[in-house]
Homo-oligomer: A and B are copies of this chain.
Amino acid sequence: MTDSPLDFAVIDSERAARTGYPEAVFCAGKTIGQAEAIITGMAEGGIPVLATRVQPPLADRIRARFPAARYDPLARTLTLGRCGDSPRGLVTVAAAGTSDLPAAREALNTAEFLGSRAELICDVGVAGIHRLFSRLEDIRKARVVIAAAGMEGALASVVAGLVRSPVIALPTSVGYGASFGGLAALLGMLNACAPGVSVVNIDNGYGAGYQAHLINLMGGDE
């Protein structure tokens, strides 16, 4: 199967062969028509689809055509099919607070779409650190932890000091004025005083979930 050109996009149908997975459809900045055409093209080509930043009207149009599509309005992800389903290790998404859920769930849904088992643990921000400790055993079961937090993003540092697995830090745009749209959390996570942390873009749950899945994959089946 070769790349199928639309006049505004080229579906990279060989991507799975090259990197293991199909590309996701990032819908921000695309018109509904463009996004629909790309998703439809992939779906009809038998490629599993993960679309991110999907607004409800687009979701409605896709689900009208493909009733099997699942839409998570909080995460704004839409999926059609799944890339695999192997009994691997666990990806755990630890979210500091309720307001971090959109990014955290985008990460969760991405890891699951790619084939990982994944869990979400919510409201374990460091302001009430006993909540984090009360879930620590669960978090330690993960092969990779995604730490999603806005504000100062301290969750990544604290978790990385407590677990043996790699931590993917996912800064979110949650916060008062001087969070500057997530910049404070981003810088905080990049400067994490604990090693074992690497960082993705602000609110980029997709990137966090993808990287976590690749790492999870390292471990082979259990």
Contacts and interface: CB of A to CB of B under 8 A. Distances in A.
Interface of A: 3, 7-10, 12, 14-15, 18-21, 23-24, 26, 28-31, 34, 38, 74, 89, 96-99, 101, 122-131, 134, 143-144, 149-154, 156-158, 160-166, 168-169, 171, 173-204, 206-208, 210-211, 214-216, 218-220
A194 B26 CA distance: 12
A190 B194 contact: no
Given A96-B193, A196-B214, A154 B126 contact: yes
Given A126-B157, A190-B199, 6 more contacts: A10-B122, A143-B218, A166-B218, A184-B187, A184-B188, A197-B200
| Cβ-closest 9 pairs across A and B | A177-B202, A29-B99, A154-B154, A198-B198, A127-B194, A218-B218, A184-B187, A152-B188, A195-B210
Given A10-B123, A220-B220, A128 B186 contact: no
Nearest to A149: B193
A176 B199 contact: no
B220 A201 contact: no
11 contacts: A19-B163, A19-B164, A143-B218, A151-B191, A151-B193, A176-B207, A177-B186, A183-B187, A195-B207, A215-B215, A215-B218
B198 A175 contact: no
Contacts of A175: 191, 201
Nearest to A177: B202
Contacts of A24: 195
A33 B198 CA distance: 32
A157 B160 contact: no
Nearest to A20: B164
A198 B187 contact: no
